[in-house]
């Protein structure tokens, strides 16, 4: 069984076609990247996988569950980090993690919260109100929230967006580590170096269409380039 | 409101009870002594003072009455004498007006006493002087099929003018607050995460409705307590001057009015929530809430000044499908113990709340909660 299976996915917003029949699938225990420029359809695809949007056409399954039909079951399996997200500003970071952990495990949430606190790396600041956090701190808290429950699939939309180099590096390390605990990751990013470092497999997406798929090295060798940035430009040029 | 009025009234009563009236008696006649004794017998403290006291009256003086020279003689010569009353108020408010009323009502009573005295002196029946004609006034309100005294009618009219403003402000607050329940999630960008949690969307929505419901319950309790206290305070205020509200309010009507009020607030909460699913942020939500609520409330207010049965049928139907109409109508009907308007109000408000909640539920459980956008301002015209 695939962790994620997307088959001929189409999504319209009114008359605008955001996703134009894409297909990809990948197995459990890897980091899969969906890479492309702004407006390529990455976030729409991730939102469909996170059960926020419904496909106009096509089939989308997570661990065999249909995202439309079995949305409630899918939500138990995933941890989602949106590209643009915030926390409840009157709660402390700790209270926020606790609130979320209780929804996943009402009887045994303390361990989850402790793990989340460790993942966030916020230390004592975790007891401050979220309203007092910087954008980077909020992002670390939200990522910790998505990963602390050890979901079977973590869907991370631009996980390091808005972070400085030091914190972005910590986040990448965190993502690498959590895969070893059996979590499968699907992420999107603009940052090709990040993708090259993190992803086992990826799909390049442009204008709602997947233009290339494979491991980073497969894509680079197919395009005769030595980094993903050049590979992406080459693919788009030949499209 | 009721507590404030009751507090003001009891302060005024205490002030009158322990206050002192100063008398400058420049006449020193038998009739001026009669006036002074009359004031004393009404329960007020009376002290003789001089005109100097008018320059700097002490706090304890409620009023100073000047009885001029020739007062008694003028009365005996059938020329009305003129007395001067100086009343000292701390400020301008309902309580202080009560103090003023207490002094003037004593003088009014004394006038009646004098009328009887003079009439007797002339061998005339005092009753014919004070009430040369008596009248029986029958006021029949057709739409209510009931007869009222003018005092009853005045009381109802006062309520009908007073309460809608209070209710209006409460309803607007509930709609505006509920309108921010989901729009704030959108503005703070917490909604997407909320919707991917392992909680059914109907449960999330129910908890939002519960929040609105708690708000509505608290508002209803404060309204009911306030209303009862207000009526008690108002009655005791009138009784102080020998008047009374002769309309006995049926407790069942008060309960039914409370139910309508609660359902109306529930409808308002549901209306607010439906606005919040459409708006992208709290500012838009509040603007949209005002845009929606004000025209509805204006129509409901119109009925304060108009009799609905005199309107064309289509307007009557329009007015009766607005849940707020029953709040305004209910205020009138609770004084006469007729229940049909309450029962219709319960049905309309309940249906209104259910319709609103089903619309919210439909949007909230679909992707439209994220993709729906309400635009403000004009759309750009497409260029040819």
pLDDT, tens digit, 9 for 90 and up, residues A131-175 = 999 988 999 999 999 999 999 999 999 998 878 888 888 889 889
User: In a 3-state reduction of DSSP, which class is residue A53?
Assistant: coil
C-alpha–C-alpha distance, residues A188 and A183, integer Å: 16
Pairing of strands B61-67, B146-148: unpaired
Q: Do B370 and A53 touch (CB under 8 A)?
A: yes
User: In a 3-state reduction of DSSP, which class is residue B84?
Assistant: strand
Q: Are B188 and A86 in contact (CB under 8 A)?
A: yes
Which residues, 6+ apart, have CB-to-CB distance to A104 below 8 Å? A76, A112, A149, B198
Distance from CA of B152 to the nearest CA of A (A): 52
Q: Do B198 and A52 touch (CB under 8 A)?
A: no
Report which secondary-structure segment, H or E, holds B62: strand B61-67
Pairing of strands A201-206, A209-214: antiparallel
Q: Are B32 and B75 in contact (CB under 8 A)?
A: no
Give the count of beta carbons closer than 10 Å to the beta carbon of residue B384. 3
Band (A95; pLDDT cuts 50, 70, 90): very high
- Residue written as tokens 């990948």? A26
The beta-strand segments (E) located in chain A are: 4-13, 16-26, 31-35, 57-62, 65-66, 78-81, 153-157, 184-189, 201-206, 209-214
For residue B378, what pLDDT is reported?
A: 45
The third-level CATH classification (topology) of the domain covering B2-148 is abc type-2 transporter like fold (3.40.1710)
For residue B384, what pLDDT is reported?
A: 38
Contacts of A103 in chain B (CB under 8 A): 197-199
Which residues, 6+ apart, have CB-to-CB distance to A59 below 8 Å? A5, A6, A7, A8, A9, A66
Q: Model confidence over A194-231: pLDDT tens digits?
A: 888 899 999 999 899 999 999 999 999 998 988 888 88
Distance from CA of A54 to the nearest CA of B (A): 7
Local confidence pLDDT in tens for the 384 residues of chain B: 555 556 666 666 666 666 789 999 999 999 899 999 988 888 888 999 998 988 888 888 888 999 999 998 988 888 889 999 888 877 666 566 666 777 788 888 888 888 888 888 888 888 887 777 877 777 777 766 777 777 777 777 777 776 777 777 778 888 888 888 888 898 889 999 999 999 988 899 888 888 877 877 787 777 777 777 777 776 676 666 555 555 556 778 878 888 888 888 889 888 988 888 888 888 888 888 888 888 877 776 777 777 777 788 888 888 888 888 888 888 777 776 678 888 899 999 999 999 998 998 998 888 988 887 665 544 444 443
Q: CB burial class (10 A; 0-12, 13-18, 19+) of residue A18? A: buried
C-alpha–C-alpha distance, residues A94 and A141, integer Å: 9
Q: Nearest CB to B367: which of A54, A82, A100?
A: A54
Best to test chain B binding among A15, A75, A133 (most B CBs inside 10 Å):
A75
Burial B27-53 (b: 16+ CB within 10 A, else e): bebebbeebbebbeebebebeebeeee
Distance from CA of B215 to the nearest CA of A (A): 20
Q: Nearest CB to A103: which of B190, B198, B366?
A: B198
For residue B197, what pLDDT is reported?
A: 94
What would the two tokens of residue B112 be? Answer: 């009646």
Q: Are B5 and B233 in contact (CB under 8 A)?
A: yes
What would the two tokens of residue A55 be? Answer: 């496909």
- Given phi > 0 = left and psi -120 to 50 = alpha, else beta, which region is A224? left
Average pLDDT of every residue of chain A = 92
Q: Do B193 and A142 touch (CB under 8 A)?
A: yes
Best to test chain A binding among B198, B280, B281, B366 (most A CBs inside 10 Å):
B198
CATH 3.40.1710.10 range(s) for chain B read 2-148
User: In a 3-state reduction of DSSP, which class is residue A24?
Assistant: strand
Q: Are A65 and A73 in contact (CB under 8 A)?
A: yes
C-alpha–C-alpha distance, residues A136 and A114, integer Å: 20
Angle CA(B11)–CA(B16)–CA(B21) in degrees, nearest 5?
145
Q: Nearest CB to B192: which of A13, A85, A145?
A: A85
Give the count of beta carbons closer than 10 Å to the beta carbon of residue A91. 15
For residue B381, what pLDDT is reported?
A: 47
Computed on alpha carbons and rounded to an integer, the radius of gyration of chain A in Å comes to 18
Q: Which of A91, A92, A93, A149 is nearest to A120 (CA)?
A: A93
Question: Chain B interface residues facing chain A, Cβ-Cβ under 8 Å?
Answer: 188-190, 192-193, 195-200, 366-367, 370-371
Question: Chain A interface residues facing chain B, Cβ-Cβ under 8 Å?
Answer: 13, 47, 50-54, 72, 75-76, 78, 80, 82, 84-89, 100, 103-104, 142, 145
Which residues, 6+ apart, have CB-to-CB distance to B252 below 8 Å? B337, B339
C-alpha–C-alpha distance, residues A85 and B188, integer Å: 8
For residue A198, what pLDDT is reported?
A: 92
Burial B92-120 (b: 16+ CB within 10 A, else e): eeebbebbbbbbeebbeebeeebebeebe
For residue B241, what pLDDT is reported?
A: 58
Q: How many CB pairs under 8 A join A and B?
A: 50
Computed on alpha carbons and rounded to an integer, the radius of gyration of chain B in Å comes to 30
Which residues, 6+ apart, have CB-to-CB distance to B159 below 8 Å? B331, B332, B335
The CA-to-CA distance between both ends of chain A, in Å, stands at 32
Cα–chain-centroid distance for residue A31? 9
Cα–chain-centroid distance for residue A205? 15
DSSP structural state of residue A38: T
Q: Which of B190, B152, B115 is nearest to B370 (CA)?
A: B190
- Residue written as tokens 């750009």? B380
For residue B146, what pLDDT is reported?
A: 73
Distance from CA of B197 to the nearest CA of A (A): 6
Q: Are A54 and A209 in contact (CB under 8 A)?
A: no
Q: Nearest CB to B367: which of A52, A72, A82?
A: A52
Contacts of B202 in chain A (CB under 8 A): none
Residue A19 reports pLDDT greater than 70: yes
User: In a 3-state reduction of DSSP, which class is residue B243?
Assistant: coil
Distance from CA of A212 to the nearest CA of B (A): 29
Report which secondary-structure segment, H or E, holds A67: none
Q: Are B367 and A52 in contact (CB under 8 A)?
A: yes
Residue A39 reports pLDDT greater than 50: yes
């Amino acid at each position: 069984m695939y962790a994620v299976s997307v088959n001929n996915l189409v999504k319209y917003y009114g008359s605008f076609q955001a996703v134009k029949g894409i297909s990809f699938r990948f197995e459990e225990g890897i980091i899969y990247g969906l890479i492309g420029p702004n407006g390529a359809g990455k976030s729409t695809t991730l939102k469909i996988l996170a059960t926020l949007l419904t496909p106009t056409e096509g089939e989308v399954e997570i661990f065999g569950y249909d995202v439309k039909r079995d949305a409630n079951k899918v939500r138990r399996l995933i941890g989602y980090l949106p590209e643009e997200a915030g926390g409840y500003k009157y709660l402390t970071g700790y209270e926020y993690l606790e609130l979320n952990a209780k929804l996943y495990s009402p009887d045994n949430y303390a361990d989850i919260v402790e793990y989340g606190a460790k993942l966030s790396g916020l230390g004592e600041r975790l007891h401050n109100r979220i309203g007092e956090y910087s954008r980077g701190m909020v992002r670390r808290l939200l990522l910790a929230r998505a990963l602390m429950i050890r979901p079977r699939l973590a869907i991370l939309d631009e996980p390091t967006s808005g972070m400085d180099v030091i914190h972005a590096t910590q986040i990448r390390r965190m993502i690498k580590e959590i895969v070893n605990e059996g979590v499968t990751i699907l992420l999107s990013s603009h940052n090709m170096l990040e993708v090259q470092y993190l992803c086992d497999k990826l799909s390049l997406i442009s204008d709602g269409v997947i233009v290339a798929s494979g491991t980073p090295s497969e894509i680079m060798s197919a395009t005769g380039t030595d980094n993903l940035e050049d590979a992406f430009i080459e693919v788009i040029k030949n499209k | 409101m009721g507590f404030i009025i009751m507090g003001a009234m009891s302060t005024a009563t205490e002030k009158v009870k322990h206050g002192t009236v100063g008398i400058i008696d420049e006449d020193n006649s038998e009739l001026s002594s009669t006036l002074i004794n009359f004031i004393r017998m009404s329960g007020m403290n009376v002290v003789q003072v001089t005109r100097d006291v008018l320059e700097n009256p002490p706090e304890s003086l409620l009023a100073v009455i000047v009885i001029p020279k020739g007062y008694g003689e003028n009365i005996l010569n059938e020329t009305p004498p003129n007395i001067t009353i100086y009343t000292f108020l701390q400020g301008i408010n309902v309580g202080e007006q009560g103090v003023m009323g207490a002094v003037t009502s004593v003088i009014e009573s004394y006038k009646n006493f004098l009328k009887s005295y003079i009439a007797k002196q002339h061998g005339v029946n005092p009753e014919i002087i004070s009430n040369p004609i008596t009248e029986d006034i029958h006021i029949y309100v057709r739409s209510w099929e009931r007869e009222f005294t003018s005092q009853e009618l005045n009381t109802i009219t006062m309520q009908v003018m007073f309460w809608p403003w209070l209710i209006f402000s409460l309803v607007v607050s509930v709609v505006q607050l509920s309108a921010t329940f989901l729009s704030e999630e959108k503005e703070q960008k917490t909604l997407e995460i909320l919707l991917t949690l392992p909680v059914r969307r109907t449960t999330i929505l129910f908890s939002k409705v519960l929040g609105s419901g708690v708000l509505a319950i608290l508002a209803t309790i404060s309204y009911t307590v306030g209303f009862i206290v207000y009526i008690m305070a108002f009655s005791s205020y009138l009784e102080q001057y020998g008047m009374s509200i002769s309309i006995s309010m049926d407790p069942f009507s008060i309960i039914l009015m409370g139910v309508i009020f609660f359902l109306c607030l529930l409808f308002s909460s549901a209306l607010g929530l439906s606005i919040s699913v459409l708006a992208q942020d709290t500012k838009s939500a509040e603007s949209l809430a005002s845009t929606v609520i004000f025209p509805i409330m204006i129509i409901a207010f119109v009925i304060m000044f108009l009799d609905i049965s005199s309107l064309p049928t289509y307007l009557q139907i329009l007015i009766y499908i607005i849940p707020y109409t029953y709040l305004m109508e209910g205020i009138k009907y609770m004084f006469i113990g007729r229940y049909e308007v309450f029962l219709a109000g319960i049905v309309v408000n309940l249906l209104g709340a259910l319709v609103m909640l089903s619309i919210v539920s439909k949007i909230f459980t679909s992707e439209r909660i994220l993709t729906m956008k309400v635009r403000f301002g004009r759309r750009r015209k497409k260029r040819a």
